[in-house]
Amino acid sequence: MRAWRVHQYGPHREVLSLEDIPPPAPPPDGAVVEVAAAGLNFPDLLAIAGQYQVRAPLSFTPGFEAAGVVRAVGPHSRHRVGDRVVTFAPWGAFAEQVAAVDDALLAWPAPLTAAEAANLLVTYQTGHVGLVHRARLAAGETLLVLGAAGGTGLAAVQLGKALGARVIAVASGEAKLAAATAAGADLVIDHRATDFVAAALAATDDRGVDVIYDPVGGDTTERALRALAWEGRLLVIGFAAGAIPAIKLNRVLLRNIALVGLHWGAYFQHDRATIARTHAALVELCGRGAIKPVVTRELAFADLPDGLDTIAARGVIGNLALTVA
Ligand SMILES: NC(=O)c1ccc[n+]([C@@H]2O[C@H](COP(=O)([O-])OP(=O)(O)OC[C@H]3O[C@@H](n4cnc5c(N)ncnc54)[C@H](OP(=O)(O)O)[C@@H]3O)[C@@H](O)[C@H]2O)c1
């Protein structure tokens, strides 16, 4: 089968190669999926560069998530040949076939295309587990989403609205603001043209926002804290800007705020029930049209490096998908 391979860590243009390798065998308690589409994510760049929290063992096929059809099952699998599934597959999604254990094989929601379904795990699970399970976002609260037109950000905007929050989206440029508006944001702020902290305070009568969804990091995080209300929660999602911020804890104490971390992939090691429960909630939200991955570009299998270029250049709106079958 064809698969994208990494034999040494480095910039994706230098280390990715398209190869023919033997197809995988199903694990005893899992299956082999023929991949229809795979989702691209910012963490793919980190994994390929050897900078992801968990280093992929060399050599490896990158790609965290895919949608496809079960082609072979292990003797103890719950699945059947022909099941349509989405799979969390660190690593291996950028290939014609991927093997996964049953707990990583979840239902493909009927209304979604392959490209949409392939993007339902990383960004939407991160958004839902982050907002509901970790930050306890309640209906009627105000949610500020940073990087709101990116992969995790746009999912958080949709989910925030679906959960009954008032959503303030922060992004740069007309196209990104338009995407956040289309995803349901109540207010969009262009951080290149406006002081987003002042704008968020003005929009909340100086009270501040209840939850900040932060996939950006760097200086942005420290500034954003000033827009957080009494008993607000800063949800730490990632560091797209590169720098990991250091927060002065007196500010946490003085305003009774909480710093809440999320490493979604770690739930697979520690608490798979939360992933399954969250998937059921996402399927229900998809079913009634409350959320839907926004795939702004579908790439041919050979064009994976182009898609990763777009992510590296801060050019992605929503999600990108690799068409495999
Ligand atoms: N915690 C978890 O479990 C988890 C799961 C998935 C992803 N992540 C992490 O979350 C972060 C964002 O992922 P994503 O998929 O949302 O990425 P993305 O689609 O590339 O979006 C990131 C957004 O961050 C903003 N940004 C600000 N400064 C930036 C800079 N210097 N370079 C690039 N973007 C910058 C951009 O918005 P503007 O251009 O509008 O400013 C961009 O749209 C990454 O660090 C990723 O590893 C964490």
- Give 93-114 pLDDT, tens digit per residue: 999 999 999 999 999 999 999 9
The superfamily CATH assigns to domain 123-265 is NAD(P)-binding Rossmann-like Domain (3.40.50.720)
Q: Is 261 exposed, middle or buried (0-12, 13-18, 19+ CB in 10 A)?
A: exposed
Q: Are 114 and 120 in contact (CB under 8 A)?
A: no
Which ligand 1 atom lies nearest to the CA of residue 218?
28
129 close to ligand 1 (CB < 6 Angstrom): no
Which ligand 1 atom lies nearest to the CA of residue 170?
40
Residue 54 has pLDDT above 90, yes or no: no
Residue 325 has pLDDT above 90, yes or no: no
85 close to ligand 1 (CB < 6 Angstrom): no
311 close to ligand 1 (CB < 6 Angstrom): yes
- DSSP strand pairing (65-73 vs 84-88): antiparallel
152 close to ligand 1 (CB < 6 Angstrom): yes
CA-closest residue to ligand 1 atom 22: 150
What's the mean pLDDT in 142-170? 98
Residue 109 CA to residue 91 CA, distance in Å, equals 22
All CATH 3.40.50.720 domain ranges in the chain, comma separated: 123-265
72 close to ligand 1 (CB < 6 Angstrom): no
42 close to ligand 1 (CB < 6 Angstrom): yes
pLDDT at residue 296, as a whole number: 97
Residue 224 has pLDDT above 80, yes or no: yes
CA-closest residue to ligand 1 atom 47: 43
Residue 261 CA to chain centroid, in angstroms?
Answer: 15
Over pLDDT 70: what percentage of the chain? Answer: 100
What single-letter DSSP state applies at residue 55? P
Tell me how far CA of residue 68 lies from CA of 26, 102, 283, in angstroms: 15, 14, 16
Residue 43 CA to residue 258 CA, distance in Å, equals 25
pLDDT at residue 124, as a whole number: 98
Structure tokens at 14: 């230098």
What single-letter DSSP state applies at residue 79? -
Q: Is 172 exposed, middle or buried (0-12, 13-18, 19+ CB in 10 A)?
A: middle
State the pLDDT confidence band at 143, using cuts at 50, 70 and 90.
very high
pLDDT at residue 161, as a whole number: 98
43 close to ligand 1 (CB < 6 Angstrom): yes
pLDDT at residue 67, as a whole number: 98
What's the mean pLDDT in 120-138? 98
Question: Which of 302, 285, 317 lies closest to 154, judged by CA?
Answer: 317
* Three-class SS state of 33: strand
pLDDT at residue 26, as a whole number: 97
**Which range among 51-55, 128-132, 177-181 shows the weakest confidence by mean pLDDT?**
51-55
Cis peptide before 172 (omega within 30 of 0): no
What's the mean pLDDT in 113-136? 98
Residue 119 has pLDDT above 80, yes or no: yes
What's the mean pLDDT in 308-318? 97
Residue 35 CA to residue 156 CA, distance in Å, equals 26
Q: Which are the contacts of 188, defined by CB distance < 8 A and separation ≥ 6?
A: 148, 168, 169, 170, 171, 177, 180, 181
Residue 232 has pLDDT above 90, yes or no: yes
What value does the mean pLDDT of the chain take?
A: 97
pLDDT at residue 306, as a whole number: 98
Residue 53 has pLDDT above 90, yes or no: no
pLDDT at residue 175, as a whole number: 98
Which ligand 1 atom lies nearest to the CA of residue 261?
1
Residue 120 CA to residue 147 CA, distance in Å, equals 18
Over pLDDT 90: what percentage of the chain? Answer: 98
What's the mean pLDDT in 33-43? 98
pLDDT at residue 84, as a whole number: 98
All CATH 3.90.180.10 domain ranges in the chain, comma separated: 2-120+293-323
Residue 300 CA to residue 306 CA, distance in Å, equals 10
State the pLDDT confidence band at 90, using cuts at 50, 70 and 90.
confident
pLDDT at residue 182, as a whole number: 98
Residue 152 CA to residue 238 CA, distance in Å, equals 9
Question: Which of 203, 188, 196, 205 lies closest to 226, judged by CA?
Answer: 196
What spacing in Å lies between the alpha carbon of 241 and ligand 1's midpoint? 7
The superfamily CATH assigns to domain 2-120+293-323 is Medium-chain alcohol dehydrogenases, catalytic domain (3.90.180.10)
What spacing in Å lies between the alpha carbon of 70 and ligand 1's midpoint? 32
Helix (H) or strand (E) holding 99: strand 97-101
CA-closest residue to ligand 1 atom 13: 42
pLDDT at residue 132, as a whole number: 98
